[in-house]
A = this chain, B = another copy of it.
């Protein structure tokens, strides 16, 4: 099989996982270059995974002729310019969620994709989780009739660092964390018409100092009148817990799993198991399958299953939810202008 020669930009926590997947887990890819503005880190990762080229300037990677395709997992505020540059360099491009911190920026990315006609795939790894994928198949096959209510819960085991949490870099909890649930909502139910939301700083007062919240709840009304609710918390405490219920007219499907090892410890009046520590454990396979899907799509010239449009629209819901939470009013998603958050 011909392998896709991939260049990887962004070598943080998730970037390292992608480096491992692209260099050693996937038969479809070779990792031929890595880039990070921290050049020392780039060299270290390159050495660890036998990657021939390490750049401290991402644009150099984008113009490296040995690079067939680009995977971008750098901080969100850099997505816009990197994606546009990648597409203009005619490199099929994968970009981690969220697409950008503002609809204006995300719109620019969508424009670039339209203008260049180059392949682009948005990263929403949950769609590739075997559990969510099986749920989608069963819903599509009519296993639970018509889905009428979508419920999704995301719980982080601890709060982000203040640097990370600052809405100026993360976009705030609805964008940073909720965008996954909003993408699931759209994937299972279609477009969202309006949003209501409440939120507060309840567990980690320091998050309030940078303008973020730690617990929020948004209710969704889909375009066809069906309903949804998304609740997010930074104080999962016990572990990383992602759970989605799809209520159908003939049954309910739940995707959710909080046990890490197959171990039960049974002591006096107590039966206990451990929990999934964090997103990289919970979605390890999903991340790998997502990159494999990207590589296969490029190699076989298949369309992207997750598009910049999906990224823009999930972001639009997140922006609407943020505004609804700020104002206490129902917000029409369609009316959220392409303005900076």
- Knowing A48-B27, A229-B217 touch, does A268 contact B237 (C-beta < 8 A)? yes
Kindly specify which of A270-278, A294-302, A310-318 makes contact with the partner chain: A270-278
Nearest neighbor of A229 in chain B, beta-carbon distance: B217
| Residues A270 and B217 in contact, CB atoms below 8 Å apart | no
Complex alpha-carbon distance, A96 and B252, angstroms:
30
A291 within 8 A of B: no
Q: Report copies per complex.
A: 4
Instruction: Give the distance to chain B from A135, nearest Cβ to Cβ, in Å.
Output: 6
| Residues A138 and B265 in contact, CB atoms below 8 Å apart | yes
Q: List A205-226 residues whose CB lies under 8 Å from chain B.
A: 215-217, 219-221, 225-226
| Residues A131 and B261 in contact, CB atoms below 8 Å apart | yes
Nearest neighbor of A262 in chain B, beta-carbon distance: B257
The contact string, 1 if C-beta is below 8 Å from chain B, for chain A 215-259, is: 111011100011101010101111100000001111111111111
The contact string, 1 if C-beta is below 8 Å from chain B, for chain A 64-96, is: 000000000000000000000000000000000
Nearest neighbor of A213 in chain B, beta-carbon distance: B227
A123 within 8 A of B: no
| Residues B251 and A256 in contact, CB atoms below 8 Å apart | no
| Residues A219 and B221 in contact, CB atoms below 8 Å apart | no
| Residues A196 and B199 in contact, CB atoms below 8 Å apart | no
Interface residues on A, range: 35 or more
Q: Which residues of B contact A256 (CB under 8 A)?
A: 262, 264
| Residues A238 and B148 in contact, CB atoms below 8 Å apart | no
| Residues A238 and B255 in contact, CB atoms below 8 Å apart | no
Complex alpha-carbon distance, A151 and B243, angstroms:
14
A2 within 8 A of B: no
Which residue of B134, B229, B261, B275 contacts A266 across the interface (Cβ within 8 Å)? Answer: B275
A160 within 8 A of B: no
| Residues A202 and B261 in contact, CB atoms below 8 Å apart | no
- Knowing A24-B24, A215-B227 touch, does A198 contact B200 (C-beta < 8 A)? no
- Knowing A252-B238, A270-B238 touch, does A134 contact B261 (C-beta < 8 A)? yes
Nearest neighbor of A254 in chain B, beta-carbon distance: B264
Nearest neighbor of A47 in chain B, beta-carbon distance: B1
A149 within 8 A of B: yes
Complex alpha-carbon distance, A249 and B236, angstroms:
8
Q: Which residues of B contact A269 (CB under 8 A)?
A: 238-239, 274-275, 277
- Knowing A196-B196, A217-B219 touch, does A148 contact B202 (C-beta < 8 A)? yes
Q: List A110-168 residues whose CB lies under 8 Å from chain B.
A: 129-131, 134-135, 138, 143-144, 148-149, 151, 155
